[in-house]
Amino acid sequence: MRLSEVFASRVQARVLEELLNAPHTIFTQVELARRVGCSSSSVDRALKNLLRLGLIRIERLSANKIVALNLNSRVVSLLIQFNRDVKKAETVKPG
């Protein structure tokens, strides 16, 4: 897997970031679209790519798509830690 596949588009990166910020949370596709400020169809394309990469799980619950990180993926574990490290680095003031 290449980083260019993981962060293939701005929408995909924003969706992934939202999921990484709450790794144990389950979202609907509509909720993710609202949170990242994108159309549901754009988020759907991003979710398909993330699913293909094995980074998320998707289930159908009546008319809704339920989305969560695939916590069994080693890459997801690394991405969660990377996301935490980036956040910590942002809070450290130089000097």
Q: For the chain, how many structural domains are there in total?
A: 1
Q: State yes or no: pLDDT of 2 exceeds 70.
A: yes
8 Å CB contact between 6 and 16: yes
- Specify the pLDDT at position 62: 85
Return the exposure string of 23-35: e unless at least 16 CB atoms fall within 10 Å of the residue's CB, then b: eeeebebebbbeb
Structural domain boundaries enclosing 41: 3-91
Q: What CATH number does residue 69 fall under? A: 1.10.10.10
Q: Is the dihedral of CA 49, 52, 53, 54 positive or negative?
A: positive
- Specify the pLDDT at position 95: 61
**Site of tokens 């949170």:** 35
C-alpha torsion angle, residues 16, 18, 22, 23 (rounded to 10): -10
Instruction: Supply the pTM of this predicted model.
Output: 0.86
What would the pLDDT profile of 36-94 be if each residue is shown by its tens digit?
Answer: 999 999 999 999 999 999 999 999 988 888 999 999 999 999 999 999 999 888 787 66
